[in-house]
Amino acid sequence: MSVIYHIAMAADWERALADGQYTMSTRGVTLAEQGFIHASTAGQVAGVANAFYHGLPDLLLLVIDARRLTAPVRYDEVPGAAEPFPHIYGPLNAGAVIRALPFPPGPDGTFSFHPPAG
């Protein structure tokens, strides 16, 4: 399975479940505004969370099976990043999300992520 991740505000994901698709790119920015939905590999999740979501409650980590996506995924170079990031170029269909994990920060506001084995 080809898994990628997206950090979502819980309220945005609830709306997506009702609509059947998710259209937020990142915190406060829509797919229409950005042109793609930001995603991460397992090794990129904590860095993104700490850079853009430090201390925020009510987050979910969407676990996405990239093979189930109806929109294309491209791995794009990002200035200053060691590895390219996956970007979803269209709405995220709810059926591609295999899990929505609660993603709270630690007591000091920082995030860590260790994907489950298997």
Is residue 54 domain-resident?
Answer: yes
Is residue 22 domain-resident?
Answer: yes
Task: Specify the pTM.
Answer: 0.94
* Token pair in block for residue 62: 């969407």
- The domain containing residue 22 runs over which residues? 3-102
Express as a percent the part of the chain with pLDDT over 70: 97
Residue 47: its H or E element:
helix 45-52
In DSSP terms, which residues pair with 86 in a beta bridge? Answer: 75
Is residue 62 domain-resident?
Answer: yes
Residue 39: its H or E element:
none
Q: Tell me the per-residue pLDDT of 68-95, one tens digit each, with 9 for 90 and over.
A: 999 999 999 999 888 999 999 999 999 9
First-to-final CA distance of the chain: 10
Q: Count how many domains the chain has.
A: 1
Identify the CA nearest to 49 among candidates 90, 106, 94, 87: 106
